[in-house]
């Protein structure tokens, strides 16, 4: 009797351990070794690709419950630094947000993974949409009968990039005061993140918005491409982009951060206090792999920049180092 009881206890213990760690592989080849909730804070402009990447990842790892939370990248960072919300992965539309607001207190490293560009976005219902082009877009946007919108610079990189684009346009078109004219117009149409503007655009409450090209393509919206000297896309114009700047709120209420123009690059990290680091690392690896997550990113209009140099290379987990480059000093 004692032998039978001992056998039952051992069998139950073995079953319990297996239930906790999961079965390494099913007969169909799908891994079930990863499990639990995975909380991802990400830029609004990553909403569509993140949803698709999460679906593909959970198809391979059915034990994982991916919880996506979109917001402006600055707001995402503040959820970690100020509100102390649990977060496993932070993906920013501007890698410098991670550098400036999370490293070194809340995160150790930052991997740059995708690029984008700014565009002027509209619909067929937008007034004067039949005549807007790369040369006259700013003139049409300044028409008093036209409503324009942009994101909040203190919440979202798309917001301060709209400011930077306006200042670069002033230089490019040699129109003094152009930036100020664009930025003081229709301030009531400023929203916390760029994707909030799409609803205003589609309902006809605004005619034109400053938005990422990828988001316009993902939502099947019309857009005007801007010259490389303005669109914050081309690394060849790094020095020109750096010639303009704007201030946004910093880590504390009284602190300001000077945000200079530079080519648009997204960044990703795992916060120090991430509740599920094992799964977070696996997801980041999946996202950064060329024939997996990065293939989805590129199909949705956000080209890969993997691998890119990073100042935090030494702190990157070993399994993620192949997706970054060390800066040689």
The secondary structure element, H or E, covering residue 133 is none
Mean pLDDT, to the nearest integer, of 76-96?
A: 96
- The pTM score is 0.84
Out of 6-10, 16-20, 269-273, 275-279, least confident range: 16-20
Per the structure block, which two tokens stand in for 306? 């993997």
Per the structure block, which two tokens stand in for 119? 């565009």
Fold of 36-115+265-326: D-Maltodextrin-Binding Protein; domain 2 (3.40.190)
Mean pLDDT, to the nearest integer, of 116-144?
A: 97
pLDDT in the model for residue 329:
66
pLDDT in the model for residue 154:
93
Tell me the CA distances in angstroms from 311 to 96, 111, 269, one per residue in order: 11, 9, 13
328 pLDDT tier (thresholds 50, 70, 90): confident
Per the structure block, which two tokens stand in for 301? 């209009």
The secondary structure element, H or E, covering residue 273 is none
pLDDT in the model for residue 254:
83
Average predicted confidence (pLDDT) for the chain: 90
The CATH classification of domain 118-260, taken from the options 3.40.250.10, 3.40.190.10, 3.40.50.2000, 3.40.1800.10: 3.40.190.10
Name which of 52, 99, 53, 49 is nearest 74 in CA terms.
99
- Per-residue pLDDT tens over the stretch 89-129: 999 999 999 999 999 999 999 999 999 999 999 999 999 99
- Per-residue pLDDT tens over the stretch 1-22: 444 454 444 444 444 434 333 4
* pLDDT of 244 strictly over 60: yes
Whether residue 142 contacts residue 181, with contact meaning beta carbons closer than 8 Å, is answered with yes
- Per-residue pLDDT tens over the stretch 285-320: 999 999 999 999 999 999 999 999 999 999 999 999
Percentage, residues of the chain above pLDDT 90: 85
Q: State yes or no: cis peptide before 18, omega within 30 of 0.
A: no
Residues spanned by CATH 3.40.190.10 within the chain? 36-115+265-326, 118-260
Q: For every residue of 34-99, which 3-state class applies, written as one string?
A: CCEEEEEEEEHHHHHHHHHHHHHHHHHCCCEEEEEEEECHHHHHHHHHCCCCCCCEEEECCHHHHH
Mean pLDDT, to the nearest integer, of 239-251?
A: 93
φ/ψ of 279, rounded to 5, equals -70, -35
- Per-residue pLDDT tens over the stretch 194-236: 778 999 999 999 999 999 999 999 999 999 999 999 999 999 9
Distance separating alpha carbons of residues 281 and 195, to the nearest angstrom:
27
């Amino acid at each position: 009797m004692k032998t039978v009881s001992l056998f039952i206890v051992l069998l139950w213990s073995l079953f319990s351990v297996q239930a906790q760690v999961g079965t390494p592989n099913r007969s169909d080849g799908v891994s079930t070794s990863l499990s639990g909730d995975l909380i991802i804070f990400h830029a609004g402009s990553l909403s569509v690709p993140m949803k698709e990447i999460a679906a593909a990842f959970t198809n391979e790892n059915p034990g994982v419950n991916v919880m996506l939370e979109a917001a402006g990248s600055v707001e995402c960072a503040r959820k970690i630094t100020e509100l102390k919300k649990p977060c496993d992965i932070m993906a920013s539309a501007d890698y410098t947000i991670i550098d400036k607001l999370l490293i070194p207190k809340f995160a150790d490293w930052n991997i740059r993974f995708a690029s984008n560009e700014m565009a002027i976005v509209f619909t067929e219902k937008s007034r004067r949409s039949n005549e807007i082009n790369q040369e006259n877009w700013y003139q049409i946007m300044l028409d008093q009968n036209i409503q324009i919108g942009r994101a909040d610079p203190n919440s979202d990189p798309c917001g301060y990039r709209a400011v930077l684009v306006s200042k670069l346009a002033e230089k490019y078109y040699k129109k003094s005061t152009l930036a100020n004219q664009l930025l003081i117009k229709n301030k009531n149409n400023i929203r916390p993140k760029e994707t909030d503007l799409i609803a205003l655009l589609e309902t006809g409450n605004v005619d034109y918005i400053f938005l990422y090209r990828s988001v316009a393509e993902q939502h099947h919206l019309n857009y005007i491409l801007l010259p490389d000297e303005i669109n914050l896309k081309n690394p060849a114009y790094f020095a020109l982009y750096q010639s303009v700047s704007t201030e946004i709120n910093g880590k504390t209420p009284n602190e300001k951060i000077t945000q200079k123009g530079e080519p648009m690059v997204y960044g990703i990290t795992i916060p120090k206090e991430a509740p599920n680091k094992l799964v977070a690392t696996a997801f980041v690896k999946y996202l950064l792999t060329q024939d997996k997550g990065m293939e989805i990113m590129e199909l949705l209009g956000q080209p890969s920049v993997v691998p890119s140099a990073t100042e935090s290379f030494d702190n990157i987990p070993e399994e993620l180092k192949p997706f970054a480059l060390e800066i040689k000093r």
